[in-house]
Chain A
Amino acid sequence: MNENQVKELEIWADSFKEGEFILDRIKNKFLGTISYEHGFVPTLTITINSQTIKFFVYGYYDAWNDRPKKISNLLVYGKCDGMIYDPILDKIIFAYEETSAVPTGNQSLQRLERTWYAAVQKIPFVYLLGKFGLHKDGGTRKVSIWPSYLALKLSSQYKIPSLTLLYGSETKQEDYEEGNAMEQLQSLIAWYLNDHFDQNSGLLDYQNLLKIIYKDMCMFIKNHYQQISKNLAGANQLSDDKLYEYLKNRAISKSGDIKFTSDFTWELSTKAEKIEKKSFNNFIYHIEKLIEQQKAWHPTEGSTVRTEKIEYVKSHTELQTKRKNKLEKKHKLKKQTTLDVDEFPTHKNGEKSIQTGKKILVMIDSTNDFLNCIEQAFGVKTRQSIEPVLNKDIPSVLYMTNSLQQNGRAFKGDPYTGQITAYSRIFSIGINGEKQRNMIAYYPNQMYSQFFDINLKKLKNKGVMTLVENTDLIITRNGISIDPKTWSLL
């Protein structure tokens, strides 16, 4: 490389603010001054060992005419907040996501499809989020363990750093400078830039930093998992120095023996759980019986009650039915499935209850038991059609979303696409990428026609793509099922 030549790097970002956020991190490590070209483009010029490097911020991905394909490809699974890109080498050096909203409950998994896809693409990825969030009611909320737990699994599954950095404290929830996160983020970016220009003498420092970050992630999970997932796989290893070393080595693709597989395998059911209020949904009713017989269990704590106004339920059931009828008329098809407002029980608040299960995740010890529930609820033919796509030698995990919305976010938006992706990588795939459970997605309130366009072809959106990549079976209303790999009705 000609040392006198200015090397240009690009920061692609969801907004100019996000891009400048990265520029500030770089400036803090390498000095330099931020200026604006053409009246609006933030730039920063720095020097790394006599090499002059100039960064341009390309804010708002869609505004630019010749966006690199590599960037566009990553955006297919959602617009991550920013990335550093070398246009000459066509390489994404680093990507990040940040949020000032502290995700809790099921919301905590929103956007995690981006985290996953960065790992698939072998791009070092940081998710920066607050440890505590200030709610509008004035109270504080603690961030979920799932972003961190997913990141440590992805690091080992895909052999690339996927990190969560938590900023803030209970009293300074929104202070990015509180805690180590910002300094760690800056050090990581600096290391990747130095490494990109072959100027790295600090490999050991980088490895130490990775190990510290993995330790921080593990300790955060260890301190909080009891409130979220009491039987968390791998919980006993979270304070083991060997695990941090192992994760670091896996993340830098250092070869070595496979370890920790059994420690991070989700256990089979250890105790029966009494379900006080049985589901009105026949299939879930049978699944709940498995829970009572100690053949299945809920891996997460807490539960919610979801009700919707009668008009809302009526509107979306009608819209879905209309769409199904249109599709069936065009393709001379007839599937036994109905969706009607009267099929939903009325809750004591006067609204319709659309929640079919107590929780959205159930771990089922035997896939054969799962198939028995299918048969009991939907008949033997449905069982026979489903059987070939599942591996009966491993257990299963059932994810369900009760979304009723016609053409809604169940397939294309937050938090569902992040949920299904993260839960699949967390519960069905082992720490070293081993397939450990069948991943089954159940949509009790979505008719099968919602999954296809009018030509009976696969819908084109990120929700569908995540289902293809991360599930083994999709069950829609009345048990009509789809093989996600071929996107065909079973």
Chain B
Amino acid sequence: MRDYNLTESICDQVVVVSTKLNGWIEWFSNPTAGPWKRIGIPGVSSLAGTGFEKEETRPDLILYHKSVKPKVLIIESKDKIDKLIDSANQNNQIKKTCQGVLPNMRTRLYELIKTSTDKELVQSLNSINFIPGYVIGDSKDIQAKISELKKLHFKFIDKSVFPYFIIIIVKKSGLDLTLETQIVSETQTDETKELEEFFQTGI
């Protein structure tokens, strides 16, 4: 097989493949075109779930896991974490994500789920845990950079709505890709511990 660069799109692809194998359902991903550009929530009409306007900011992935405590991951992806924490970019990218994309998407998903004909999904609505996340390609000094990202994220995010977030690091070895997940919070709680255990078995 041919070699490749660890682009944002390839990072997303490995997350999509891996999460599907672990029981997650892809509600949205952000390729250039096609019917998959819509937000695909079970029981929600395609008209209501129409994707995004051309210039509208959007997440890169939305993933759903139906478990005792259902989870929705709203993900921003970058091939390099530097693109998130770079001083020239940070006030734009992270601020836009934390104050725009994440809360807006949470509200929009909440409203869309309410319209679903999938009764089980609607009934679980108030127990759904909406978790923001970042998919990033591995790089040198990644842990130090994650600390930087943590500072910035919590500077801009409404912590009462999103008290923690998930980092999914995509690691390349030869042609193989693997994932490493971390739950990042300012203070560890039973909830974050529980999530750490949940994601320990893979995503």
A136 located at the interface, meaning its Cβ lies under 8 Å from any Cβ of chain B in the complex:
yes
B7 located at the interface, meaning its Cβ lies under 8 Å from any Cβ of chain A in the complex:
yes
Query: What B residues does A176 contact at CB under 8 A?
Result: 35
Kindly identify which residue among B1, B3, B10, B35 contacts A37, using a CB–CB cutoff of 8 Å. B1
Q: How far is the CB of B63 from chain A (nearest CB, A)?
A: 15
A60 near B10 (CB under 8 angstroms)? Answer: yes
B68 located at the interface, meaning its Cβ lies under 8 Å from any Cβ of chain A in the complex:
no
B195 located at the interface, meaning its Cβ lies under 8 Å from any Cβ of chain A in the complex:
no
Q: How far is the CB of B89 from chain A (nearest CB, A)?
A: 21
Kindly identify which residue among A14, A38, A40, A138 contacts B32, using a CB–CB cutoff of 8 Å. A14
A60 near B3 (CB under 8 angstroms)? Answer: no
A38 near B176 (CB under 8 angstroms)? Answer: yes
Q: How far is the CB of A147 from chain B (nearest CB, A)?
A: 15
Q: Which stretch, B11-19, B93-101, B143-151, B180-188, touches the partner chain A? A: B11-19
B31 near A15 (CB under 8 angstroms)? Answer: yes
Tell me, in angstroms, the Cα distance from A275 to B34 when the chains sit together.
41
Query: What A residues does B104 contact at CB under 8 A?
Result: none
Tell me, in angstroms, the Cα distance from A136 to B46 when the chains sit together.
10
Q: How far is the CB of B14 from chain A (nearest CB, A)?
A: 4
Query: What A residues does B179 contact at CB under 8 A?
Result: 39
A residues with a Cβ closer than 8 A to B are: 14-18, 21, 36-41, 56, 58-60, 62-67, 79, 81, 98-101, 134, 136, 138, 174, 176
The residue in chain B whose Cβ has the minimal distance to the Cβ of A101 is B33
B117 located at the interface, meaning its Cβ lies under 8 Å from any Cβ of chain A in the complex:
no
Tell me, in angstroms, the Cα distance from A14 to B31 when the chains sit together.
8
Query: What B residues does A62 contact at CB under 8 A?
Result: 7
Given the known inter-chain contacts A40-B17, A66-B3, A136-B47, please indicate yes or no for A100 contacting B175, CB distance below 8 A.
no
Of all A-B residue pairs in the complex, the 10 with the closest CB atoms, nearest first, are A15-B31, A40-B14, A39-B177, A100-B35, A60-B9, A63-B7, A38-B175, A40-B13, A65-B3, A38-B176
Q: How far is the CB of A31 from chain B (nearest CB, A)?
A: 21
B4 near A64 (CB under 8 angstroms)? Answer: yes
B50 near A15 (CB under 8 angstroms)? Answer: no
Q: How far is the CB of A180 from chain B (nearest CB, A)?
A: 18
B107 located at the interface, meaning its Cβ lies under 8 Å from any Cβ of chain A in the complex:
no
B114 located at the interface, meaning its Cβ lies under 8 Å from any Cβ of chain A in the complex:
no
Given the known inter-chain contacts A58-B2, A65-B5, A174-B46, please indicate yes or no for A40 contacting B177, CB distance below 8 A.
yes
Indicate the member of A15, A64, A176 with the most B CB atoms within 10 Å: A15
A64 near B34 (CB under 8 angstroms)? Answer: no
Q: What are 5 A-to-B residue pairs whose CB atoms are below 8 Å?
A: A17-B29, A39-B177, A99-B33, A100-B34, A100-B35
Kindly identify which residue among B3, B4, B17, B33 contacts A81, using a CB–CB cutoff of 8 Å. B33
Q: B13-52 CB contact bits vs A (8 Å, 1 = yes)?
A: 1101110000000000101111111000000001100100
B47 near A134 (CB under 8 angstroms)? Answer: yes
Query: What A residues does B14 contact at CB under 8 A?
Result: 39-40
Tell me, in angstroms, the Cα distance from A323 to B2 when the chains sit together.
43
B178 located at the interface, meaning its Cβ lies under 8 Å from any Cβ of chain A in the complex:
yes
The residue in chain A whose Cβ has the minimal distance to the Cβ of B174 is A38
Tell me, in angstroms, the Cα distance from A39 to B18 when the chains sit together.
7
In addition to A14-B32, A64-B2, 10 A-B residue pairs with Cβ atoms within 8 Å of each other are A15-B32, A21-B34, A38-B177, A39-B17, A39-B176, A62-B7, A65-B5, A99-B34, A100-B33, A101-B33
A65 near B50 (CB under 8 angstroms)? Answer: no
Query: What A residues does B34 contact at CB under 8 A?
Result: 15, 17-18, 21, 81, 98-100
Given the known inter-chain contacts A56-B1, A138-B47, A174-B46, please indicate yes or no for A100 contacting B7, CB distance below 8 A.
no
Q: B87-114 CB contact bits vs A (8 Å, 1 = yes)?
A: 0000000000000000000000000000
Tell me, in angstroms, the Cα distance from A66 to B5 when the chains sit together.
11
Kindly identify which residue among A21, A63, A136 contacts B50, using a CB–CB cutoff of 8 Å. A136
B9 near A63 (CB under 8 angstroms)? Answer: yes
Q: How far is the CB of B41 from chain A (nearest CB, A)?
A: 15
Given the known inter-chain contacts A39-B17, A63-B9, please indicate yes or no for A17 contacting B50, CB distance below 8 A.
no
Q: How far is the CB of A381 from chain B (nearest CB, A)?
A: 43
Kindly identify which residue among A39, A56, A79, A81 contacts B178, using a CB–CB cutoff of 8 Å. A39
The residue in chain B whose Cβ has the minimal distance to the Cβ of A98 is B34
Query: What B residues does A98 contact at CB under 8 A?
Result: 34
Given the known inter-chain contacts A37-B1, A38-B176, A138-B47, please indicate yes or no for A60 contacting B7, CB distance below 8 A.
yes
Kindly identify which residue among A17, A81, A134 contacts B36, using a CB–CB cutoff of 8 Å. A17
B47 near A14 (CB under 8 angstroms)? Answer: no
Tell me, in angstroms, the Cα distance from A247 to B50 when the chains sit together.
38
Query: What A residues does B4 contact at CB under 8 A?
Result: 63-65
Tell me, in angstroms, the Cα distance from A136 to B48 when the chains sit together.
9
Tell me, in angstroms, the Cα distance from A38 to B173 when the chains sit together.
9
Query: What B residues does A36 contact at CB under 8 A?
Result: 17
A16 near B13 (CB under 8 angstroms)? Answer: yes
Tell me, in angstroms, the Cα distance from A134 to B49 when the chains sit together.
12
Q: How far is the CB of A406 from chain B (nearest CB, A)?
A: 18
Q: How far is the CB of B23 from chain A (nearest CB, A)?
A: 16
Given the known inter-chain contacts A39-B178, A65-B2, A66-B3, please indicate yes or no for A59 contacting B32, CB distance below 8 A.
no
Given the known inter-chain contacts A39-B177, A66-B2, please indicate yes or no for A174 contacting B9, CB distance below 8 A.
no
Tell me, in angstroms, the Cα distance from A58 to B7 when the chains sit together.
13
Tell me, in angstroms, the Cα distance from A21 to B10 when the chains sit together.
17
The residue in chain A whose Cβ has the minimal distance to the Cβ of B29 is A17
Q: How far is the CB of B175 from chain A (nearest CB, A)?
A: 5
B10 near A63 (CB under 8 angstroms)? Answer: yes
Query: What B residues does A138 contact at CB under 8 A?
Result: 47
The residue in chain B whose Cβ has the minimal distance to the Cβ of A40 is B14
Tell me, in angstroms, the Cα distance from A370 to B137 when the chains sit together.
59
Tell me, in angstroms, the Cα distance from A120 to B46 when the chains sit together.
37
Query: What B residues does A81 contact at CB under 8 A?
Result: 33-34
Tell me, in angstroms, the Cα distance from A14 to B32 when the chains sit together.
8
